[in-house]
Amino acid sequence: MEVLLPLRFKGESVLVLDQRLLPREEKYVERYDLEGIYESIRSMELRGAPLIGIAAAYGMVLGVQNQSFTHPIDLLEAVRKNAERLNRARPTAKNLFWATDRLVRLVERNIDLPVEEIIYRMRAEAIKINEEDVEICRNIGENFLKVLRPGMRLLTHCNAGALATYRYGTATAPMYLGQERGWNFQVFVDETRPYNQGARLTAYELHRAGIDATLICDNMAAMVMSKGWVDAVLVGSDRVAANGDAANKIGTLNLSILARHFGIPFYVATPTPTLDLDLPDGSRIPIEERDSEEITHFQGIRVAPEGIKVFNPAFDVSPHENITGIVTEKGIAFPPFQSSLKALAEAPFLTGKG
């Protein structure tokens, strides 16, 4: 199976696959500094909570490695400012804050070391975050396969795939592992308006991998479910609150309501860094609003009347009561989520175990 990597760290720069151009063109943009990574995240050259976290970690390294610092305290001040800058790029994705905070805390712990050594350790930590993501996603896939069966018909929304992480994806991880094992899943892919991540990205990568995928418009999901063609809904997440409320790409809430109505299992794929157990429920999750032109224009051409008011939230929150299970790299959380998520968050990650 050919792997399309969404970014590549080159030491002095990061190559970013510009996902805005897919599926028409596979083009990498080279980013040399923190502002370049900030722009890649903000403009959605790269997207997906885990991948945003990886990119932010590398951005923290690029932001200091070619700078001159007379004292480690100066480095720490710069690292904290850089974290604040990157955190403003996309406010909903928990992994962004998790990654930048991880680098800040590393510098704080090593403040007595020479500047060069601290930056070396920052680079090693960013690479470690990248490598961890591959194993996290594979383990999410392994855990998913415990509740799925060969030949099942799945439905997914947006892109929680290999392009949203570094490899395998989260909600798509069982699809890739199933492909390797001959499970022959059939996958319905929501187009995911208004940015069309499902049509442009998920359909592209699944089809490229030889997985049986069918693209549908978002407003066709109810009909497909009503015909009994969907055995389970698998979606990703950008932040999950302590009670199990899960934020994901706009339109996921619709699917959770439909799945509950039709009695279809609704699973949320969530790496534990995406958990935000400090938030009691989903009402506290900040929801990013994006430019109105994503709705009023198509390929640069206006398709809505001038002056029309636009509401364009990038995410919505599916309530915990609509969720069958939350699948992490450490295991699956089932209701009541308040206790099961806390137990998983505190459990060790056993390398190589599903």
pLDDT, one tens digit per residue, over 159-200 is: 999 999 998 999 999 999 999 999 999 999 999 999 999 999
Domains delineated in the chain: 7-137 (1.20.120.420), 139-346 (3.40.50.10470)
Mean pLDDT of 288-312: 95
Determine how many CB atoms are found less than 10 A away from the CB of residue 141: 26
pLDDT at 352: 47
Whether the pLDDT of residue 151 is over 80: the answer is yes
Rounded distance, CA 18 to CA 188, Å? 25
Among 190, 238, 276, 316, the one annotated catalytic: 238
The closest of 237, 289, 227, 290 to 258, measured between CA atoms, is 227
| Average pLDDT across the chain, whole number | 95
Q: Could you tell me which residues come within 8 angstroms of residue 258 by beta carbon, excluding any fewer than 6 positions away?
A: 221, 222, 225, 264
Whether the pLDDT of residue 298 is over 80: the answer is yes
Instruction: Decide if 29 contacts 44 (C-beta within 8 A).
Output: no
For 97-129, write each residue's pLDDT tens digit: 999 999 999 999 999 999 999 999 999 999 999
Tokens of 257: 């309501």
User: Crossing angle for the helix pair 49-62 and 34-42, nearest 10 degrees?
Assistant: 160
Rounded distance, CA 209 to CA 185, Å? 13
Rounded distance, CA 6 to CA 37, Å? 13
Instruction: Decide if 28 contacts 72 (C-beta within 8 A).
Output: no
Whether the pLDDT of residue 147 is over 50: the answer is yes
Host H or E run for residue 216: strand 212-216
Q: What letter would DSSP give residue 289? A: B
Cα dihedral 55, 38, 191, 130 in deg (nearest 10): 0
Q: Could you tell me which residues come within 8 angstroms of residue 81 by beta carbon, excluding any fewer than 6 positions away?
A: none
pLDDT at 93: 81
Determine how many CB atoms are found less than 10 A away from the CB of residue 161: 32
Residue where the block lists tokens 């090593």: 110
pTM of the complete model: 0.89
pLDDT band for position 319 (cuts 50, 70, 90): very high
Higher pLDDT, 351 or 83: 83
Rounded distance, CA 213 to CA 155, Å? 9
Is 238 designated active site? yes
Q: Between the CA of residue 43 and those of 29, 127, 207, what are the distances in Å?
A: 13, 23, 25
Q: What letter would DSSP give residue 112? A: T
Instruction: Decide if 329 contacts 272 (C-beta within 8 A).
Output: yes
Secondary structure (3-state) at 344: helix
For 204-217, write each residue's pLDDT tens digit: 999 999 999 999 99
For 218-236, write each residue's pLDDT tens digit: 999 999 999 999 999 999 9
